[in-house]
Amino acid sequence: MTDSVHAADACAPLALPTPYLLFLGDVQHRGYAKTAFGLRDWAGELCIGEFSLPDATVSTGLPSLCLGEAYAQGARGFVIGVASQGGAIQPNWVPTLIAALEQGFDIVSGMHSNYRDIPELADAVARTGRRVIEVRRPPVGLPTGTGAKRTGRRLLTVGTDCALGKKYTALALTRAFRARGVDADFRATGQTGIMIAGSGIPIDAVVSDFVAGAAELLSPDAAADHWDVIEGQGSLYHPAYAGVSLGLLHGSQPDVIVLCHEPGRKTIIGTTDFPIPPLTEAIALNVTLGALTNSGIRCAGVSLNTGGLDDAEAAAAIAAAARETGLPAADPVRGGPDFERLVDACLA
């Protein structure tokens, strides 16, 4: 995907090299390794192992393999599994990326950095004949948003912050809808989701004037009973990414939103001066702003990321969120009756 893709083909499947070896770089915060964790959890059959630099303190739990071992086991895609703020390829990663190309891997990158701007990496691509597939390159020819009503049903996951479960929630809801016989598609808007689904538009790489139009293109007219479950991005409360969230909200025209939240998180990730909003406030703001393009928008419930809690703590957090909002609350990874009630509310 280093060559330009036209908007008309933006949702066409990508030909990605598999199986994957996941590169964790020197990441030390689990939230910045969400690409690796997302692929492990939702495309685990494609992931052979992981490769990290010595300073990394995060692991997916997959086998730790050197480049030669992974290649011998069949891996052909070296996936940059890091999704750090700013999305830059770090200078100390470059020798490893070059070694991967020399080993015979194609690199799959979800970073904002263009490999052509890194001379030694560009030279290695030309010398080895391998590829760097950049899934965070938006298609050309995207339209501006029109606000015109589209047929079909849409659900958008929104958040109190970044990196707390919007993608996982959208994937889990899509799977649950299909299990109930509902015609549903997961619509990826971020690099990890695109790698999982094999198609999508990297919304945070789209020029701001075209974000709403890209969202409209991603979830086009559909049958009346069809659901597009759209992966949310960022948060209306994030000082850096609120613009992305708002454009996606307007262009998606969701009939239903599900608010995603991590209990115990006090401030917006990467900041200390911006507190996480109350759940009811976040729901109200998303509904108010979303009503611009869909006056019938409603919030079906709350999705909680309780991965850092034990069972009793998770149950208490889910119950507290339900009490606070008066809506179903659940952790989609834990599943169970709470999640089934959330699915009921989405489809009601």
Q: For 138, which DSSP code?
A: P
Choose among 114, 135, 115: nearest CA to 20: 135
Q: d(Cα 194, Cα 200) in Å, to the nearest integer? A: 5
Whether residue 308 is found in the same domain as residue 204? yes
Whether residue 223 is found in the same domain as residue 130? no
Check: pTM over 0.85? Answer yes or no: yes
pLDDT on residue 128:
97
Q: d(Cα 274, Cα 253) in Å, to the nearest integer? A: 27
pLDDT at 27 over 70: yes
Asked if residue 112 is part of any domain, the answer here is yes
Whether residue 109 is found in the same domain as residue 28? yes
Asked if residue 76 is part of any domain, the answer here is yes
Asked if residue 10 is part of any domain, the answer here is no
pLDDT on residue 1:
43
pLDDT on residue 86:
75
pLDDT on residue 10:
59
pLDDT at 6 over 60: no
Whether residue 51 is found in the same domain as residue 126? yes
Choose among 154, 152, 88: nearest CA to 121: 88
Of 10 and 2, more confident: 10
- The average pLDDT across 232-247 equals 96
pLDDT on residue 2:
46
SS3 state at 184: strand
What CATH number does the domain containing 243 carry?
3.40.50.300
pLDDT at 4 over 90: no
Whether residue 273 is found in the same domain as residue 241? yes
Whether residue 160 is found in the same domain as residue 115? no
CA distances from 152 to 7, 85, 219, 261, 344 (A): 21, 34, 9, 27, 18
Choose among 178, 174, 205, 206: nearest CA to 187: 174
Chain centroid to Cα 227, Å, comes to 18
Q: d(Cα 77, Cα 126) in Å, to the nearest integer? A: 17
Whether residue 130 is found in the same domain as residue 201? no
Decide: 324 and 280 in contact? Cβ < 8 Å: yes
- DSSP track, 172-218: HHHHHHHHTT--EEEE--SHHHHHHHS----GGGS-GGGHHHHHHHH
pLDDT on residue 30:
85
Whether residue 66 is found in the same domain as residue 183? no
Of 252 and 14, more confident: 252
Asked if residue 318 is part of any domain, the answer here is yes
Whether residue 84 is found in the same domain as residue 157? no
Q: d(Cα 120, Cα 115) in Å, to the nearest integer? A: 9
Whether residue 75 is found in the same domain as residue 192? no
Which of 134, 167, 182 terminates a domain? The answer is: 134
| Counted domains in the chain | 2
Whether residue 161 is found in the same domain as residue 212? yes
Please report, in angstroms and rounded to a whole number, the separation of the first and last CA atoms in the chain: 39
Decide: 115 and 146 in contact? Cβ < 8 Å: no
pLDDT at 273 over 80: yes
Q: Residue 138 half-sphere exposure, CB side, CA atoms within 13 Å?
A: 20
pLDDT on residue 80:
96
Whether residue 160 is found in the same domain as residue 129? no
Asked if residue 184 is part of any domain, the answer here is yes
- DSSP track, 43-107: SGGGEEEEEE-TT-----SSPB--HHHHHHTT--EEEE----TT-PPPGGGHHHHHHHHHHTPEE
SS3 state at 276: coil
Q: Residue 53 belongs to what domain range?
A: 17-134
What CATH number does the domain containing 78 carry?
3.40.50.720
Burial of 180 (0-12, 13-18, 19+ CB in 10 A): exposed
User: How many C-beta neighbours within 10 Å does residue 42 have?
Assistant: 20
For the stretch 317-333, pLDDT in tens is 999 999 999 999 999 99
- Residue 187 one-letter amino acid: R
Asked if residue 46 is part of any domain, the answer here is yes
For the stretch 53-102, pLDDT in tens is 999 999 999 999 999 999 999 999 999 999 877 788 999 999 999 999 99
SS3 state at 132: strand
Of 297 and 138, more confident: 297
pLDDT over 90 for what percent of the chain?
A: 87
Which of 134, 162, 185 terminates a domain? The answer is: 134
Asked if residue 147 is part of any domain, the answer here is no
pLDDT on residue 163:
87
Asked if residue 143 is part of any domain, the answer here is no
Q: d(Cα 174, Cα 95) in Å, to the nearest integer? A: 39
Contacts of 117 by beta carbon, 8 Å cutoff, 6+ apart? none
For 95, the token pair is 């020798």
Q: Residue 274 half-sphere exposure, CB side, CA atoms within 13 Å?
A: 15
